[in-house]
Structure 1
């Protein structure tokens, strides 16, 4: 069984149209990278994929990682001081990194944002997954699996646009199409397996009857599953994730009785962000400023065609 993560190159063919003469060779370009620390598998894959693409593109790169917005802001200031040709950034937190984006704008350094959004359009390109779509598709899957009614627990991520959109997409779809679903608890797992395990243990103690758990991320889904199994709960019929980790794909392929679906949010998107950064640093202009990757549902019916044992995540 092999999983082929969706190649985003065809999508970016619509993005990186060369609208200006190239001003520098690849060898003359240095790309700055500003990412959160790899506290979970998806972020680790983002960092690895970004480094791999910089190498494949033949450019120098400066990688920075941070555990908090203050450190990430300082990292961006350091990249400005190094006079990099462009910056690829995955913001830790929206407000602080909006201010960092303004600093890059003032320094005339193009910014390419991945995944989480900022409150400004001072960037050259934004490449993201469909976070609202993840929530809406999860609501549809859970609603259909439960016959339109049941109690749902939501395990959310960190305070950022991704979390807001995944939660809003879910709740809007529930209100519109599945009013019989009731969200009885919403707790933060911060995209971490261990924290989600602990949070879910508390939720299980507080709620003797749960029908489904909607998690914002596959790592959190794995922590939730562990809590359910350790508690020997049999009332929970469905757990959904997001991201597309190999561990979750395998559970779905093996027809796990609870882990039923996840939604594509491939860390490969950062490769395309690096490609755009290289093009922009060399003088071209993206044809499209915002690119959204579809939140395709991964279930037992299609997981075999998407699994790749060699994937970073």
Structure 2
């Protein structure tokens, strides 16, 4: 059982025990103290953050319905200064006592979060860590090491340790470094897998299209392209199609977008056979865990990493969320 599952089970068991104890005292159920939870996230400027916004609002809708004494306020920001201003409003105007924040930028949001914590706000930071870990009570993120390791292991196994590979990285960040280091650590064990080149494509379809055009011009024999993001993978596929290249056997993206998962389910593109999960749903999980813990007057573990999984045709249905924008 995962740590998330164990924690959720403990919360549910504790809730059930409280109800049972209250029933023993004349049937009056004792309500938990009210919780005002603020959620601060980037605006839906691209597919992944669109998913973040959608899952955050799903959490608000479902959790407020389940817990009448819970009030969730969701704020979206298009840049770091806007997010910092919204955070101040959440603390001083909305008067939140708990916060789940997906920082737009790590450094720019650290001090505003520190100020919130000084006002006795319980803080859960999601995915993009702050420069000062003391500013948070809990940290929840996807597994970036697994995000890089899983596709590398998949490629090495499927192609029997022999392939020509090019890679598209994201934006120069610690998150991207973790993924790349994990990918290359696996590939270093397979000397017949050649990484011909790797370039940043900024998790952007258009940039990925241009980078892939360059790869296809310079390298006449490519077996696998690791795009490291599903938005980038779409740009990669467009470049391959335009160049009419038939040597590329597979494109491996990342994050489990509904477009890629549906493609795997349907078998509609032979270049897309697998993916790795890194769903924006982790914001839903972070909000749910934080809200339920605070309603019980409890704290979350200091760090929780949500596992990434290999997605193939056999299990793709588990990762398909058709109503999500991502």
Q: Structure 2 length as normaliser, TM-score?
A: 0.81
The Cα shift of 1:50 comes to 0.9
- Residue 154 (structure 2) aligns with: 141
Answering whether residue 248 of structure 2 is matched by residue 236 of structure 1, we say yes
- Residue 115 (structure 2) aligns with: 103
Alignment of 1:116-155 (within 5 A): 116-119=128-131, 120-155=133-168
Answering whether residue 258 of structure 2 is matched by residue 252 of structure 1, we say no
Contact in 1 for aligned 2:148/2:180 (Cα 8 Å): yes
Distance 1:111 1:132, change over 3 A: same
For residues 69 and 275 of structure 1, the distance between their equivalents in structure 2, rounded to whole angstroms, comes to 25
Q: Structure 1 length as normaliser, TM-score?
A: 0.84
For residues 72 and 179 of structure 1, the distance between their equivalents in structure 2, rounded to whole angstroms, comes to 46
- Residue 33 (structure 1) aligns with: 39
Unaligned 5+ segments in structure 1 are 1-6
Contact in 1 for aligned 2:225/2:251 (Cα 8 Å): yes
Task: Identify the structure with the greater helix proportion.
Answer: 2
Alignment of 1:1-313 (within 5 A): 10=5, 12-13=7-8, 28-58=34-64, 59-82=70-93, 83-119=95-131, 120-175=133-188, 177-255=189-267, 256-282=269-295, 284-313=297-326
Q: CA RMSD in A?
A: 3.0
Secondary structure of residue in 1 paired with 2:273: strand
Contact in 1 for aligned 2:212/2:239 (Cα 8 Å): yes
Number of residues of Structure 1 aligned to a counterpart in Structure 2: 303
Contact in 1 for aligned 2:103/2:129 (Cα 8 Å): yes
Greater shift after overlay, 193-202 or 213-222?
A: 193-202
Higher relative contact order (CA 8 A, sep 6+): 1
